Structure 1
Amino acid sequence: MAARVPAYRQAQIAIKRYIEEHHLKPGDLLPPETQLARDMGMSRLSLREGVKSLEAVGILEARQGEGIYVKAFTFDSIFENLPYSFAVGGKSLRDLLQVRTALEEGLIGMVAHRATPEQLDHLERLARQMLQKAQAGETFEDEDREFHLALYGPLQNPFLNRLVELFWEVFRRLHGSANVTHWNLEQTAQDHLAILNALRAGDPHRITEAMHAHFQQIRERLGPELETPPTVTDILPPPAQTPTS
Structure 2
Amino acid sequence: MAARIPAYRQAQTAIKQYIEDHHLQPGDPLPSEGQLAKDMGMSRLSLREGVKTLEAVGILEARQGEGIYVKAFTFDSIFENLPYSFASDGQSLRDLLQVRTALEEGLVGMVASQVCPEQIGELDALARQMVQKACDGQTFEDEDRAFHLTLYRPLNNPFLNRLVELFWEVFRRLHGSTGVTHWNLEQTAQDHVAIVEALRAGEAEQLTQAMHGHFRQIKERLDPQNSPDAQTPDPPQPRQPVHK
Give TM-score scaled by structure 1 length: 0.87
**Structure 1, residues 32-79: CA drift from partner, whole Å, max 9, x if none?**
100111111111011001001101101111122221111122212112
The RMSD of aligned alpha carbons is 2.0
1:150-170 superposed Cα distances (whole Å, 9 cap, x missing partner): 111111111111111111011
Structure of greater relative contact order (alpha carbons < 8 Å, 6+ residues apart): 1
Partner AA of 1:199 in structure 2:
L
Q: Which residue of 2 is the match for residue 81 of structure 1?
A: 81
Q: Per the alignment, do residues 135 and 88 of structure 1 end up closer, same or farther by CA in structure 2, a change over 3 Å counting? A: closer
Aligned to 2:64: 64
Provide the C-alpha distance between the structure 1 equivalents of 2:51 and 2:82, rounded to a whole number of angstroms: 22
The answer to whether residue 167 in structure 2 is matched with residue 164 in structure 1 is no
Does the Cα contact within 8 Å between 2:182 and 2:221 map onto a contact in 1? no
The structural deviation recorded for 1:99 is 0.6
Change over 3 Å in CA distance of 1:89–1:176 after alignment to 2: closer
Q: CA deviation at 1:180?
A: 6.9
Amino acid at match of 2:55: E
Deviation by residue 1:110-151 (Cα, 9 ceiling, x = unmatched) = 111110111111111111111111112111111100111111
Q: Which residues of 2 match residues 95-134 of structure 1 at below 5 A?
A: 95-134=95-134
Residue identity matched to 1:4:
R
Aligned equivalent of 1:150: 150
Distance in 1, Cα, partners of 2:35 & 2:205: 59
Distance 2:123 2:13 in 1: 44
1:17 counterpart residue number: 17
Structure 1 stretch displaced more, 82-91 or 29-38: 82-91
Q: CA deviation at 1:171?
A: 0.3
Which residue of structure 2 aligns with residue 199 of structure 1? Answer: 199
4+ runs deviating over 3 angstroms: 177-182
Q: Is there any run of 5+ residues in structure 1 with no aligned partner, and where? A: 227-245
Cα displacement string for residues 211-232 of structure 1 (whole angstroms, at most 9, x for unaligned residues): 0000011111122699xxxxxx
SS at match of 1:91: helix
Change (3 A) 1:210 1:172: same
| CA displacement at 1:90 relative to structure 2 | 5.3
Q: Is the contact between residue 37 and residue 44 of structure 2 (CA under 8 Å) also seen in structure 1?
A: yes
| Structure 1 Cα separation of the partners of residues 140 and 63 of structure 2 | 37
Query: What is the Cα deviation at residue 84 of structure 1?
Result: 2.3
- What residue number does 1:7 align with? 7
Partner of 1:93: 93
User: How far does the alpha carbon of each residue in 1:5-29 deviate from its partner, in whole angstroms, 9 at most, with x for none?
Assistant: 2111111111111111222222222
* Structure 1 residue aligned with 2:138: 138
TM-score (norm 2): 0.87
Report the more deviating stretch, 62-71 or 115-124. 62-71
Native 8 Å contact 1:139 1:181 kept in 2:
no
Indicate conservation of the 8 Å contact 1:58/1:74, yes or no.
yes
Larger Rg: 2
Q: Which amino acid aligns with 1:94?
A: R
Aligned length: 226
Asked whether the equivalents of residues 145 and 168 of structure 1 are also in contact (C-alpha less than 8 Å), the reply is yes
User: Larger deviation: 82-91 or 138-147?
Assistant: 82-91
- Aligned residue type for 1:6: P
User: Partner letter of residue 113 of structure 2?
Assistant: H
Q: Which amino acid aligns with 1:76?
A: D
CA contact (8 A) 1:149 1:164 kept: yes
List gaps (5 residues or longer) in structure 2: 227-244
Q: How far is 1:189 from its partner?
A: 0.8
